[in-house]
Amino acid sequence: MAFFELRLAKRQEPSPLWRSALVFTGAVIVALGLSMLLLTVRDIAPLHGLQVLIMGAFGSGWALQDCLLKAIPLFLCSLGVAIAFRLRIWNIGAEGQFSLGAIGATWMALSFGGAPKLLLLPLMIVAACVSGGLWAMIPALFRQWLGANEIIVTLMLNYIGILLLDFLVYGVWRDSSGFPMTAAFSDNAIIGPIGTSSVHWGITHCLVLGLACWIFFRSTRLGYEIKACGDNVQTARYAGMPYSFLVVLVMVLSGTLAGWAGFLEVSATVHRLQPSIMVGYGFTAIVVAWLARLNPAGIALTSFLLAGLRAGVENLQLDLQIPAAFGSIMEGLILMTVLAGGFFLSYRIVLKRRA
Amino acid sequence: MPSTTPFIRLENLSKSFGKVRAIHHISLDIHRGQILALLGENGAGKSTLMSLLAGQLQPDSGSIFLNGEKVVLNSTEKAIHYGIGMVYQHFKLVENMNVLENIILGQSKNFWLRRSSLEAQVKELARNYGINLDLNAPIRGLSMGEKQQVEILKLLFRKSDLLIFDEPTAVLTPKEADNLFATMREMAAKDKAIVFISHKLEEVLSIADHIAILKQGEIIDRINPDAGLSPAELARRMVGRPVLLQVQRQEVEPRQTVLKVQNLSGNGLEHIELELRQGELLSLVGVAGNGQKALVETICGLQPPKEGSVRILGQDWHDFFADKQSESSLSYIPEDRQGLATCSGLDLLDNFLLTTRHGFTQGPWLHKQVAGEKLEKLLHDFDIRPPDAALRAWQLSGGNLQKLVLAREFYRKPRLIVAEQPTQGLDIAAAEEVWRLLLKAREQAGIILVTGDLAEALALSDRIGVMFRGHLVATMSRHDQASIDRIPQMMAGLNEEEHKQTQYEEVNP
């Protein structure tokens, strides 16, 4: 009898890109397989389920447009949390910062609805960014001054942010129709669609901001300092880097981007403020950032894929009466398999014939 | 005479890390009752070889035989099981537990600990090997030498038959080193096998039964120390070229004061008075843990002075460290290369930029391209291997990493340099290079050299200060032979009473 032995060996070099891509793809396939197996519980043939999912996500021009539309807020929120994650500051408050951004933009749209478009839109952007940024600054200050854990504070501020939105639309900003929503924005407060498609010009904001982020980390001193502090705080202190300042900076940038996403959602997608805009983009953004390993281009791709997952699950809901929670289950499965797959990036398995 | 079957036989071991060949077809016998010394430059493969023996790494090819039987050491537990133990440079002890608890930790399979019988066993063991330790003393309060003895007892208690020492004397006072050698001889006499790695050639010649020299992953020479080789000849064989075991030292006229410490207390320091001029090298010697760390961290801006004043380049401590521009004229070369001086996960370029970034900054932009060109040149000038700026810091050997830190710190042309154990763990060729660089930098800067190696201090310093329990016990000129002769006693605190008296007289003449 021949005996073989499996052994683990630590890789001595960083893994090349092709291996990361391979492991990522493999992990996603495993996650999809597991999810489809879950469908058998409801007597649905796994392959049929998969087909409905994929058709809903990427199967038609309309589906692809819907994906892009969902990918936009996901991309911006994720870009934001990734900045904080680089410094190992765990901002899981993108949802609340997104909500505050939407509120800030709405405030301007309702107050200065008559202003010309070229003035009103920048005003809304500034208001959204300032509200989102300041909202994110609170946990940063708490952390550096009082030693409060940023995970807890950002998490709790999410609920406050969401409830603040509810408070406004159920209260002072309620439309005359009586529904919990503001009045529709004036045309000057709206970012229009590109041509006849349903995708709006906000996607160009994503391109610019994504590029800016990439340049920031590649070529600026602050970007470099964030990277160094994220690797080793002790060394960063030794090198005289302003750690506390950087913590506040990344949180503000993080909140700014989530706020911007909130602005786009009200201005380009819904054209008013209403509670239904809070669908958890800020939470999914965390998954996206990790799946993409904090890389801006990767975040763009992953945002699109996870937006596709959302669209596909909606299709499953319509065609096969699968509960909406199934989307969250799949998201979680993908994150877990990809994170577990990271093991193969730092270790390899050696098959040895036993002596 | 060696018995016919060696305790451990390494046959044709090879190990590569990616493209880097760490060791290549090494065969080596380790016999009971003998002390084998491994010599070699940084990156020669000594640590890799020892990690293979300790079960931390697995060879790519080749085999290890134990008493003539082939074994696979694929975990540290297995290595320990086979009686192979290692005393690491950084001790692995639980600081809050006492000596006995550290020794018996994890060794009893029973639910109940029979403390008294275990204590008796450990006591017996310590007595057999001439180790004198209070088993109930907490580790926290022990000296480095005593901690090392605990490590040795730990291995003996686990019935290790092969004890591997990785640069054991680097952290010891001369007296403690002598004690260690006595213990090592005792262990060899009791049929244990000893492997020890060192850079100090004299001690290798005096204690080893066999010497193997590694270079670029291969054993290039095997030497019998009885053959009457001089340290210089040994160094020549190791490095491949003649090595001067001392440095050419030119007098430099001291100029303006770069550092003035007055009555500094707190953080374990007691009334430190210190002045340093440009063109001067002041060594602070003493056993590790006598306040050197606090003093260095205060001077380098990591902790503010509690009492007393520190003036750097004519500026008060707080003003100096508030100003980014002035801060760049101070270089701190910390002892902890991996954890403090570099970021292990970043590449060499990013590590180079850590303290030089302000020089490559224009507005918000950081000119990495320009920095990269400078670094290429430095990698070449300082002979840092492999000279690839895209490597991560963790891929470099300790010595090469230290050279990178020095290259970076000297690049800024600082006017005050604080170097902490800069040659610890470096081979003689590299150490010689560091000494030369320090002396060269002295022409432009004032240098504080914190070292545990008295020979190093004597070779380099203009003045030497001795630290003990937070006091700067004495400072003396390199020409004051009478005081220099008393340094070993001062390091052990034997001079303290006398010092207190002189200090008292200075205050009240």
Confidence at residue B242, expressed as pLDDT on a 0 to 100 scale: 67
Residues on chain A bordering chain B, Cβ-to-Cβ distance under 8 angstroms: 7, 9, 12-14, 218-225, 227-228, 231-232, 234-240, 355
Long-range contacts of B105-110 (CB under 8 A, 24+ apart): B107/B157, B107/B158
φ/ψ (deg, to 5) at B96 = -85, -5
Residue of B nearest to A234 (CA): B340
CB contact under 8 A, B361 and A221: yes
Residue of B nearest to A13 (CA): B18
Q: CA dist A148 to A137, A140, A169, Å?
A: 13, 9, 31
Give the one of B74, B341, B344 whose C-beta lies nearest to A7's C-beta. B74
Chain B partners within 8 Å of A219 (Cβ): 365-366, 368
Confidence at residue B244, expressed as pLDDT on a 0 to 100 scale: 58
CB contact under 8 A, A240 and B327: yes
Residues A52-94: tens digit of each pLDDT: 999 989 988 999 999 999 999 999 999 999 999 999 999 999 9
3-state SS of chain A is: CCCEEEEEEECCCCCCHHHHHHHHHHHHHHHHHHHHHHHHHHCCCHHHHHHHHHHHHHCCHHHHHHHHHHHHHHHHHHHHHHHHHHCCCCCCCHHHHHHHHHHHHHHHHHHCCCCCHHHHHHHHHHHHHHHHHHHHHHHHHHHHHHCCCHHHHHHHHHHHHHHHHHHHHHCCCCCCCCCCCCCCCCHHHCCCECCCCCCECHHHHHHHHHHHHHHHHHHEHHHHHHHHHHHCHHHHHHCCCCHHHHHHHHHHHHHHHHHHHHHHHHHHHHCCCCHHHCCCHHHHHHHHHHHCCCCHHHHHHHHHHHHHHHHHHHHHHHHHCCCCHHHHHHHHHHHHHHHHHCHHHHEEEEEEECC
Across A6-13, average pLDDT:
74
How many cross-chain Cβ pairs, A to B, lie less than 8 Å apart?
A: 74
DSSP code string of B379-435: HHHTT-SS--TTSBGGGS-HHHHHHHHHHHHHHT--SEEEEESTTTT--HHHHHHHH
Q: How far apart are CA B238 and CA B198, in angstroms?
A: 12
**Exposure of A342 in the CB half-sphere (CA atoms within 13 A):** 10
Q: Describe the strand order of the beta sheet including B84-87 as a list of residue ranges.
A: B84-87, B162-166, B193-197, B35-40, B210-215, B218-223
Map out the domains of chain B as residue ranges. Answer: 8-239, 257-329+416-507, 344-413
Residue of B nearest to A222 (CA): B364
Domain with CATH 1.10.3470 in chain A: 55-321
Residue of B nearest to A6 (CA): B74
Confidence at residue B2, expressed as pLDDT on a 0 to 100 scale: 46
Whether omega for the bond prior to residue B386 falls within 30 degrees of 0, making it cis, is yes
The closest of A187, A354, A212, A189 to A267, measured between CA atoms, is A189
User: Distance (Å) from the C-alpha of residue A9 to the closest C-alpha of chain B?
Assistant: 8
Q: CB under 8 Å to A112, separation ≥6 — which residues?
A: A119, A120, A123
Chain B partners within 8 Å of A238 (Cβ): 302, 332, 334, 340-341, 354
Q: Which residues pair with B196 in a beta bridge?
A: B37, B165
**Exposure of B278 in the CB half-sphere (CA atoms within 13 A):** 15
User: Distance (Å) from the C-alpha of residue A204 to the closest C-alpha of chain B?
Assistant: 25
Largest CA distance in chain B: 75
CB contact under 8 A, B17 and A224: no
Task: Provide the angle, in degrees to the nearest 10, between the axes of the packed helices A202-219 and A221-231.
Answer: 70
CB contact under 8 A, B302 and A228: no
Give the one of B332, B340, B357 whose C-beta lies nearest to A234's C-beta. B340
Query: How many residues are there in chain B?
Result: 509
CB contact under 8 A, A232 and B339: yes
Write out the two tokens for A18. Answer: 């092709």
Give the one of A218, A222, A238 whose C-beta lies nearest to B334's C-beta. A238
Give the one of B72, B343, B392 whose C-beta lies nearest to A228's C-beta. B343
State the residue for tokens 């900076």.
A249
Q: Which residues pair with A349 in a beta bridge?
A: A8
**A279: amino acid identity, one letter:** V
Give the one of B72, B321, B354 whose C-beta lies nearest to A235's C-beta. B354
Chain A partners within 8 Å of B366 (Cβ): 219-221, 223-224
The closest of B239, B238, B203, B207 to B222, measured between CA atoms, is B238
3-class secondary structure, B271:
strand
Burial B461-474 (b: 16+ CB within 10 A, else e): bbbbbbbbebbbbb
ipTM of the complex model = 0.84
Q: Which residues pair with A10 in a beta bridge?
A: A347
Give the dihedral sign, CA A154/A156/A162/A167: negative
Burial B267-288 (b: 16+ CB within 10 A, else e): bebeebebbbbbbbbbbbbbbb
Q: How far apart are CA B308 and CA B465, in angstroms?
A: 19
State yes or no: pLDDT of A206 exceeds 90.
Answer: yes
Best of B323, B366, B370, B388 to disrupt the A interface (most A CBs within 10 Å) is: B366
Best of B300, B343, B355 to disrupt the A interface (most A CBs within 10 Å) is: B343
Q: CB under 8 Å to B366, separation ≥6 — which residues?
A: A219, A220, A221, A223, A224, B353, B357, B360
**Exposure of B254 in the CB half-sphere (CA atoms within 13 A):** 14
- Dihedral (Cα; B211, B214, B220, B226), 10-degree rounding: -10
- Are B279 and B254 within 8 A, CB to CB? yes
Chain B partners within 8 Å of A240 (Cβ): 301, 321, 324, 327, 355
CB contact under 8 A, A234 and B339: yes
Q: How far apart are CA A72 and CA B358, in angstroms?
A: 37
Confidence at residue B349, expressed as pLDDT on a 0 to 100 scale: 95
Query: How far is CA B460 from its chain centroid?
Result: 18
Confidence at residue B243, expressed as pLDDT on a 0 to 100 scale: 61
CATH class name, domain B8-239 = alpha beta
State the residue for tokens 């006017």.
B415
Burial class (CB in 10 A: 0-12, 13-18, 19+), A267: buried
Confidence at residue B109, expressed as pLDDT on a 0 to 100 scale: 74
Query: How far is CA B362 from its chain centroid?
Result: 38
CB contact under 8 A, A235 and B339: yes
Q: How far apart are CA A201 and CA A272, in angstroms?
A: 17
Q: CB under 8 Å to B84, separation ≥6 — which residues?
A: B8, B53, B54, B55, B73, B160, B161, B162, B164
Q: Does domain B257-329+416-507 have CATH number 3.40.50.300?
A: yes
Give the one of B339, B350, B361 whose C-beta lies nearest to A227's C-beta. B350
CATH number of A55-321: 1.10.3470
Chain A partners within 8 Å of B342 (Cβ): 232, 235
CB contact under 8 A, A237 and B342: no
3-class secondary structure, B137:
coil
Residues A140-185: tens digit of each pLDDT: 999 999 999 999 999 999 999 999 999 999 999 998 888 899 999 9
CB contact under 8 A, B343 and A9: no
State yes or no: pLDDT of A324 exceeds 70.
Answer: yes
CB contact under 8 A, B339 and A222: no
Burial class (CB in 10 A: 0-12, 13-18, 19+), B395: buried
Query: How far is CA A221 from its chain centroid?
Result: 26
Residues B467-506: tens digit of each pLDDT: 988 899 999 998 888 888 888 788 777 754 554 444 444 4
- Are B445 and B414 within 8 A, CB to CB? yes
Confidence at residue B1, expressed as pLDDT on a 0 to 100 scale: 44
State the residue for tokens 């004036």.
A186
- Are B149 and B175 within 8 A, CB to CB? no
Chain B partners within 8 Å of A239 (Cβ): 354-355, 357
Burial B427-446 (b: 16+ CB within 10 A, else e): bbbbbbbbbebbbebbebbb
Which residue positions in chain B have pLDDT lower than 70?
A: 1-4, 42-43, 241-251, 326, 495-509
